[in-house]
Amino acid sequence: MSRREKIFKNEVSDEELFSFINELKKKKRKPEKVCVIMGGESEEREISLRSGEAVFNALLKKGYDVEKVVFPVDDLNYLKKFQSAFICLHGRYGEDGTVQGLLEIMKIPYTSPDPVLSAFFMDKVLVALSMAKILPQPKFEIARTKEEAIEKAKSFDLPFVVKPAFSGSSLGISLVKEKKDIEKSIDEAFRFSSRIIIEDFLDGPELTVGVFEKMVMGALEIIPHEDEIFSFHAKYRGKTSYIIPPENVSDDVVEEVLILSKKICDIFEVQGAVRLDFKLKNGKPFFLELNTIPGMTERSLLPKIALYRGISFEDFVEAILLNASLKIHRK
């Protein structure tokens, strides 16, 4: 076993991981009727439908009585027939705590973190301001108007990144390489959010870390071949390589991002299956974001990390479902 493989398993051993999943199967009573919530009204609807379809098929194979519920629905009371909900909504009204709050009120156990944490991690401004007190952050500025953004952009060296505060799947993000592109990039970010962030470009490798119920499963390296950032195109349409374990960073960096991921999930009491993204500059990892509802197709990043640890897609989906719960009453 290489040092890198040992690093992965020092965070959570195979025995701990499989023991937890097996205990879920033994102790948790299977819900009689399950819904997979997908679709939504955000720009990520297409991606959500892909995730939902994959989860639906996985649960069918596992023998669950499962039904697809494509949002928006005409009558929310229809949800009352279900004993558990697997959330595959991405972006606005899905990752932002909205549907989680609805399910809390309806007393339907659900996958994903609670409404408060979901809203928090969806808002890149809140995350950047909060994380600055916990972890190293790239230089950033927040702007609420186009004029303010243009003025604040003057303090950054090219290239720099412009992104919306409230968006997913890298929608609205631009890498600004020339001054002539600043205004266009700002306009693009404001299409998706009323506030935007301007930040230093981190030019090193990008890593993502998979965590299931605070158990850190491993890290994967992302290499876009057509973009310098992991853009929407790179994620879903372009040529991108995914390497696990990562190859182009040191063992120490891999260990650091795993430890940082564990720290973040512990501090914020993050439940569910989540993904944390990091990017390097000068060999130092910087935290980018925590995805509370990551993509859930067999080609998605979190399932790739689970598969590396020996957990099939169907088993991983079932484990996530079996740990569905109501969270607000515990706070």
What would the pLDDT profile of 97-114 be if each residue is shown by its tens digit? Answer: 999 999 999 999 999 999
Same domain, 213 and 249: yes
Provide the pLDDT for residue 312: 95
Has residue 303 been placed in a domain? Answer: no
Has residue 127 been placed in a domain? Answer: no
Report d(CA 233, CA 219) in Å as an integer: 22
Same domain, 111 and 40: yes
**Each residue's pLDDT tens digit, 69-103:** 999 999 999 999 999 999 999 888 888 899 999 99
Provide the pLDDT for residue 88: 96
Same domain, 154 and 92: no
Mean pLDDT lowest among 128-132, 209-213, 310-314:
128-132
For tokens 């230089």, the residue is 139
Report d(CA 90, CA 258) in Å as an integer: 24
Has residue 281 been placed in a domain? Answer: yes
Has residue 48 been placed in a domain? Answer: yes
Enumerate the β-bridge partners of residue 218.
210
Report d(CA 157, CA 145) in Å as an integer: 21
Same domain, 103 and 52: yes
Between the alpha carbon of residue 284 and those of residues 138, 205, 207, the distances in Å are 11, 10, 12
pLDDT band for 1, please (50, 70, 90 cuts).
low
Report d(CA 121, CA 128) in Å as an integer: 10
Has residue 322 been placed in a domain? Answer: no
Same domain, 103 and 180: no
Provide the pLDDT for residue 167: 66
Phi then psi for residue 109, to 5 deg, are -55, 145
Give the CATH number for residue 67.
3.40.50.20
Mean pLDDT lowest among 206-215, 227-236, 240-249:
227-236
Same domain, 227 and 285: yes
Same domain, 164 and 209: no
Whether residue 234 is predicted with pLDDT greater than 50 in this model: the reply is no
Same domain, 110 and 155: no
Give the CATH number for residue 196.
3.30.1490.20
**Each residue's pLDDT tens digit, 24-45:** 888 777 889 999 999 988 878 8
Mean pLDDT lowest among 131-135, 159-163, 229-233:
229-233
Selection from 244, 271, 247 nearest residue 327 by Cα: 271
Whether residue 7 is predicted with pLDDT greater than 50 in this model: the reply is yes
Report d(CA 100, CA 139) in Å as an integer: 32
Domain count, the chain: 3
CA atoms within 13 A on the CB side of 256: 16
Has residue 309 been placed in a domain? Answer: no
- Percentage of the chain beyond pLDDT 90 is 66
Has residue 320 been placed in a domain? Answer: no
Using DSSP bridges, classify how beta strands 34-39 and 196-200 pair: parallel, antiparallel or unpaired: unpaired
Give the CATH number for residue 231.
3.30.470.20
Catalytic residues: 44, 169, 236, 275, 277, 289, 291, 295
Residue numbers of the domain that contains 154: 139-200
Provide the pLDDT for residue 244: 93
Provide the pLDDT for residue 233: 44
Whether residue 231 is predicted with pLDDT greater than 60 in this model: the reply is no
Has residue 22 been placed in a domain? Answer: no
Is 0.85 topped by the overall pTM?
yes
Same domain, 189 and 240: no
